[in-house]
């Protein structure tokens, strides 16, 4: 079904993995506003209850860790059981492993690497796999939309040097494109969105750093030079989940305020030389 009374997702059932705060919750609300029923997934029971109250009767919630394969299976099954079908997935879940040992390559710890891959890449596999399996069972097409980042291909070495995170977001693009090619004959579409700095709870470190904010004001120059807000992505998400994008697959849409095409300006300063962890130089 196409656009009905300005609504682009009428009769669609959408699962949002990581849909209880920030980008995911904003997108889930936009999907509901466009006529969809949604299942939102989050780890925090209180946030799940709050999302359910915010989104109303066309929302169901699943409490679970996206880094565990059973969570995605439960979410997709909940969509079919509660709303009678399944049409699309938006995978938002993930985040930074900085506090667990992510950083520049020479500083990444084994724990930081494993944690970041589980957070961002294992979870992506589990949700995409569950969604694809269900669409194949239902024998109709659908839309799978993944969250990447401009840091996958447009690095910011001074302020955002978390290389495991960048690797996972680049891998998300690789999985999206490979899956798009393989499942196109089944009318199952795979696309990705790649935001730059957006004001969400996960961006609290950057949002509290004045030097980063000054840099972003030139790196993201659109609309006066500002940090993004979750709503900036909502129209793109709704479009890519809707039938209006039925001839689009394997694409990465940067919603980044100009980040990936603009140089950005730093304060004049000299970076310190890299610190080599003692264990890396031990004989």
- φ, ψ of residue 113 to 5 degrees: the values are -65, -50
Q: What percent of the chain has pLDDT over 90?
A: 91
The two three-digit tokens of residue 273, written as one number: 């030389």
The full set of domains in the chain, from first to last, is 13-258 (3.40.50.720)
Q: What pLDDT score was predicted for residue 268?
A: 65
- What average pLDDT is seen over the chain? 95
Evaluate if pTM is beyond 0.95: no
pLDDT digits (tens, 9 = 90+) for 72-82: 999 999 999 99
7 and 32 Cβ atoms separated by less than 8 Å: no
Comparing CA positions, the residue from 51, 73, 181 lying closest to residue 129 is: 73
- 165 is a catalytic site residue: yes
The answer, yes or no, to whether residue 172 has pLDDT greater than 70, is: yes
Mean pLDDT confidence for 125-139: 98
* Residue 282 banded pLDDT, cuts 50, 70, 90: very low
Residue 201 has a pLDDT of 87
Q: In this model, does residue 260 exceed pLDDT 50?
A: yes
Q: What is the average per-residue pLDDT within 24-38?
A: 98
Of 90, 165, 183, 215, catalytic: 165
């Amino acid at each position: 079904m196409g656009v009905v009374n300005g609504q682009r997702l009428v009769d669609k059932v959408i699962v949002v993995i990581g849909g209880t705060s920030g980008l995911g919750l904003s997108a889930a609300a936009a999907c509901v506003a466009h006529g969809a029923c949604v299942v939102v997934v989050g780890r925090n029971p209180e946030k799940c209850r709050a999302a359910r109250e915010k989104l109303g009767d066309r929302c169901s919630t699943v409490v679970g860790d996206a880094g565990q394969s059973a969570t995605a299976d439960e979410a997709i099954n909940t969509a079919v059981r509660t709303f009678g079908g399944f049409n699309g997935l938006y995978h938002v879940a993930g985040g930074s492993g900085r506090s667990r040992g992510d950083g520049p390559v020479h500083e990444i710890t084994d724990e930081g690497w494993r944690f970041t891959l589980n957070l961002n890449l294992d979870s992506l596999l589990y949700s995409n796999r569950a969604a694809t399996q269900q669409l194949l069972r239902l024998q109709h097409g659908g839309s799978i939309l993944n969250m990447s980042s401009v840091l996958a291909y447009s690095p910011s070495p001074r302020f955002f040097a978390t290389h495991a995170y960048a690797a996972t977001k680049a891998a998300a693009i690789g999985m999206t494109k490979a899956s798009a090619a393989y499942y196109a004959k089944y009318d199952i579409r795979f696309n990705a969105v790649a935001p730059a700095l957006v004001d969400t709870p996960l961006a609290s470190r950057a949002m509290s750093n004045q030097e980063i904010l000054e840099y972003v004001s030139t790196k993201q120059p659109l609309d006066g030079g500002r940090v993004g807000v979750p709503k900036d992505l909502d129209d793109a998400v709704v479009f890519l989940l809707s039938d209006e994008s039925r001839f689009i697959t394997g694409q990465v849409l940067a919603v980044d305020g100009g980040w990936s095409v603009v140089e950005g300006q730093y304060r004049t300063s000299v970076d310190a030389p890299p610190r080599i962890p003692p264990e890396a130089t031990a004989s």
